[in-house]
Amino acid sequence: MEDKKKMNLNKSEEKLNNAKVNAADTNDDEEEIGANVQIVTPGQLVLKRFLRNKLAIVGMVMILVLVLFCFVGPYLSPYGEFEMFYLDRHDPSIEYSSNETQSIDMSTLKINSKAPVSAKHLLGTDKDGSDVLTRLMYGGRISLIVGVGVTFLEILIGVTLGGIAGYYGGWVDTIVMRIVDIFLCLPQFPLMLIMSSIMINSNIPQKYQIYFLMLILGVLGWTYSCRVVRGQILMFREQEFMIAAESTGIRPSRRIFKHLVPNVIPQIIVIASMGIGGIIIYESSLSFLGLGLPFPYASWGNMVNAVNDKTIMRNNMNIWLPPGICIVLATLGFNFIGDGLRDAFDPKMKR
């Protein structure tokens, strides 16, 4: 009997020791797992989702290349935006720049118009004798600045009015929404044609007309962002964090722009990124119709306007095709980025 008791006691001690060892191993494993766990912030999660979107990365590369081409390229180009080129009538192999013709009899020169692609002019020259590649760089500056500037103005107006309408509600919301309805009823393209014609026939200096064009486009295009922001703020203003903010007694403007608007930033970013491409096309359409930026200033739209000449459209694709390709690339790039941001900010995305 005593031997059996000793054997049972030894077995109990062994089980106890094994349990202690297993518990120690489990604690070590939990400590190791806890050390390896990384806390991911919402911003890091959004960035991770965005970087997994291959089309979004392609869009970023496209926009980066265009930005470098348009804003750094002109410093590397040997020619200026308004520089024209002439050929000697007696010896067409001799070319003169407009910067070199002050001491030359102009009757002995002719414009080097519609020159083919060559080592001197990688994309040839246009009908006015200007280097197409150089004007493509400067024209891209205008198109990209117009796209970003108009979108910023639209977002600024839309977020301000949408935030006020969504927060206050009542008669304030009714007035803002009726203003939105009025702007939505306006035929924007015919109205833009009228405003552009008035601007061209006025005494506004040509170099400032682009800013008036941006102002008109921004004032006419803020309604969509306003409605989105208003709808989001109507949802957020009834939540607990806003009740807590109101209980602290802070002024309404601070509640709107510090506590409500930051929660709408993901939607604003998506609207902005996808709207820039549309603005570039809109400005290009006006310039194509001759109602955008006036000559001699370049934009991708008024460069494509060269296809109105059937001879150029058939025989000189180097004049109008490059700006058309740039418009397509810029629009696709911003749309790819917008799609990627929309998916990245979507909480239902699990990938």
On whether residue 220 sits in a domain, the answer given is: yes
Asked if the model's pLDDT at residue 337 lies above 50, the reply is yes
**For residues 252 and 291, is the Cβ–Cβ distance under 8 A?**
no
pLDDT at 300: 85
Average pLDDT (24-51) is 61
On whether residue 215 sits in a domain, the answer given is: yes
- For residue 122, give every residue at least 6 positions away whose Cβ sits within 8 Å of its Cβ, in sequence order, or none: 133
| Residues 125, 231 share a domain | no
What does the alpha-carbon distance between residue 346 and residue 71 come to, in Å, rounded to a whole number?
Answer: 34
Whole-number percent of the chain with pLDDT over 70: 82
| Residues 138, 100 share a domain | no
pLDDT at 63: 92
Residue 308: CATH number of its domain: 1.10.3720.10
Query: What's the full length of the chain, in residues?
Result: 351
| Residues 101, 174 share a domain | no
Asked if the model's pLDDT at residue 109 lies above 60, the reply is yes
Q: Which residues pair with 87 in a beta bridge?
A: 95, 110
On whether residue 12 sits in a domain, the answer given is: no
- State which of 125-129, 236-240, 310-314 shows the largest mean pLDDT: 125-129
Comparing 331 with 35, the larger pLDDT belongs to 331
pLDDT at 58: 92
Structural domain range at position 114:
84-129
Average pLDDT (324-334) is 89
What does the alpha-carbon distance between residue 166 and residue 172 come to, in Å, rounded to a whole number?
Answer: 9
pLDDT at 42: 65
Q: How confident is the model at residue 65 (pLDDT cuts 50, 70, 90)?
A: very high
What does the alpha-carbon distance between residue 31 and residue 41 come to, in Å, rounded to a whole number?
Answer: 22
Residue 283's nearest CA partner among 305, 307, 259 is 305
Which helix (H) or strand (E) segment holds residue 25: the answer is helix 2-36
Q: How confident is the model at residue 3 (pLDDT cuts 50, 70, 90)?
A: low
**For residues 140 and 66, is the Cβ–Cβ distance under 8 A?**
yes
| Residues 230, 160 share a domain | yes
Number of domains in the chain: 2
Strand order in the sheet with 109-111: 95-97, 85-88, 109-111
Comparing 8 with 94, the larger pLDDT belongs to 94
Show the 3-state SS of 126-154: CCCCEEHHHHHHHHHHHHHHHHHHHHHHH
Asked if the model's pLDDT at residue 31 lies above 60, the reply is no
Its pTM stands at 0.77
- What is the Cβ-side half-sphere exposure of residue 43, based on CA atoms within 13 angstroms? 2
pLDDT at 68: 94
Q: How confident is the model at residue 62 (pLDDT cuts 50, 70, 90)?
A: very high
| Residues 229, 196 share a domain | yes
Angle at 277 between CA 46 and CA 180, to 5 degrees: 90
